Structure 1
Amino acid sequence: MALLNGDPESIGGYRLLDRLGAGGMGTVFLAQAESGRLVAVKVVHQQFAEDFEFRTRFRQEVAAARQVSGAFTAPVVDADADAPRPWMATSYVPATTLGARVRREGALTEPGELRLLAVGLVEALRELHRAGVIHRDLKPDNVLLTDDGPRVIDFGISRCADHQTLTVTGRVLGTPPYMSPEQLIAPHRVTPASDVFSLGAVLVYATTGRGPFDAESPYLTAYNVVHEPPAVAALSGTVREIIQWCLAKEPSERPGTDALLAAFRAAPEAEWGTRPAAGPVRDDGSGSAAPRVWWRRRSIALLTVAATVAATAGGTWGMGLWEDEGTPPRSPSSRSAGPGSAPSPTAAPLVEKTAALQPDGWALWQTKLTGKDENLRYCNPSPRALVCASSSSTGKLAAFDPRTGKQLWRRPVSYTEGSSAPAQVELLGVSGSGRTAYYTEATGQGVGRLRAVDTVTGRALWSTPSGSHHPYQQAAYLGSVIVTSDLNELHAWDAASGRRLWDAEAGGFLHVTRNQLYLEEQSVFTGKTELYRIALENGKKTLFGEFGAARLVAFAKNVVLLRETDGTLTLGSPNGSRRATKLPDISYTESDGIVYGRDIEGTIIAADTQTGQRRWTTKTNLTTDEMDGKVAPVIADGRIYLSSSDGRIACLSAKNGALLWRSAPRKQYNELGNVAVSVRDQTIYAVHSRLVYALRPPA
Structure 2
Amino acid sequence: MNAPLKEEDAESALNHFAFDQQAQTAPVDPEPLKVVPLPDILNQRYHIERLLGVGGMGAVYRARDLLRAQYGDPEPYVALKTLTDSFAEYPDANALLFSEFALTSRLHHAHVVQLYGFDVDQQSQRAFITLELLKGPTLDQLIEANPAGMPWTQLREIALPLLQALSFSHQRGVLHGDLKPSNIIMAEDGLRLFDYGLGQATQGLMPGLPRLSRARIAAWTPRYAALELLNGEALTAAADVYGAACILYELSSGHHPFSRLTARQAKAMEQDKTLQRPPLLPAHLWPALKAGMAFEKNQRIDSTALLDALNSPKPGLLKRLTRRF
- The one-letter code sitting in structure 1 at the alignment partner of 2:115 is V
- Report the Cα distance in structure 2 between the residues aligned to 1:52 and 1:239, rounded to whole angstroms: 47
Q: Flag the 1:10–1:222 CA change in 2: closer, same or farther, 3 A.
A: farther
User: Whose relative contact order is higher, 1 or 2, with alpha carbons under 8 Å and at least 6 apart?
Assistant: 2
Number of the residue aligned with 2:101: 62
Deviation at 1:210?
A: 1.9
Aligned residue among 203, 214, 219 for 1:173: 219
**TM-score, scaled relative to structure 2:** 0.73
Number of the residue aligned with 1:26: 58
- Report the Cα distance in structure 2 between the residues aligned to 1:232 and 1:166, rounded to whole angstroms: 38
Q: Flag the 1:168–1:114 CA change in 2: closer, same or farther, 3 A.
A: closer
8 A Cα contact 1:134 1:160, kept in partner: yes
Q: Counterparts in 2 of 1:333-352, with a 5 A limit?
A: none
- Report the Cα distance in structure 2 between the residues aligned to 1:144 and 1:168, rounded to whole angstroms: 26
8 A Cα contact 2:292 2:302, kept in partner: no
**TM-score, scaled relative to structure 1:** 0.35
Number of the residue aligned with 2:162: 121
Q: Counterparts in 2 of 1:243-642, with a 5 A limit?
A: 243-268=289-314
Q: Flag the 1:113–1:47 CA change in 2: closer, same or farther, 3 A.
A: same
Alignment partner of 2:311: what SS?
A: helix
Number of the residue aligned with 1:39: 78
Q: Flag the 1:184–1:50 CA change in 2: closer, same or farther, 3 A.
A: same
Alignment partner of 1:65: what SS?
A: helix
Number of the residue aligned with 2:152: 111
Q: Flag the 1:4–1:24 CA change in 2: closer, same or farther, 3 A.
A: same
Aligned residue among 182, 207, 223 for 2:252: 207
Report which of the two has the higher share of strand: 1
Report which of the two has the higher share of helix: 2
Number of the residue aligned with 1:130: 171
- Report the Cα distance in structure 2 between the residues aligned to 1:267 and 1:176, rounded to whole angstroms: 34
Number of the residue aligned with 1:14: 46
- Report the Cα distance in structure 1 between the residues aligned to 2:52 and 2:164, rounded to whole angstroms: 26
Alignment partner of 2:49: what SS?
A: strand
List per-residue Cα deviations over 1:347-369 (Å, max 9, x = no partner): xxxxxxxxxxxxxxxxxxxxxxx
1:193 aligns with 2:224: no
- Report the Cα distance in structure 2 between the residues aligned to 1:167 and 1:190, rounded to whole angstroms: 13
Alignment partner of 1:266: what SS?
A: coil
Number of the residue aligned with 2:72: none
Number of the residue aligned with 2:262: 221
Alignment partner of 1:52: what SS?
A: coil
Number of the residue aligned with 1:319: none
Q: Flag the 1:16–1:191 CA change in 2: closer, same or farther, 3 A.
A: same
Alignment partner of 2:178: what SS?
A: coil
Deviation at 1:47?
A: 2.6
8 A Cα contact 1:180 1:198, kept in partner: yes
Q: Which moved more, 1:160-169 or 1:108-117?
A: 160-169
8 A Cα contact 2:178 2:198, kept in partner: yes
- Report the Cα distance in structure 1 between the residues aligned to 2:89 and 2:114, rounded to whole angstroms: 26
Deviation at 1:246?
A: 0.6
- Report the Cα distance in structure 1 between the residues aligned to 2:151 and 2:214, rounded to whole angstroms: 45
Q: Which moved more, 1:33-42 or 1:89-98?
A: 33-42
8 A Cα contact 2:174 2:200, kept in partner: yes
List per-residue Cα deviations over 1:101-128 (Å, max 9, x = no partner): 2224535423211112111111000121
1:73 aligns with 2:119: no
Alignment partner of 1:155: what SS?
A: coil
Name the larger-Rg structure.
Answer: 1
Q: Counterparts in 2 of 1:650-661, with a 5 A limit?
A: none
8 A Cα contact 2:291 2:300, kept in partner: yes
List per-residue Cα deviations over 1:623-677 (Å, max 9, x = no partner): xxxxxxxxxxxxxxxxxxxxxxxxxxxxxxxxxxxxxxxxxxxxxxxxxxxxxxx
8 A Cα contact 1:21 1:28, kept in partner: yes
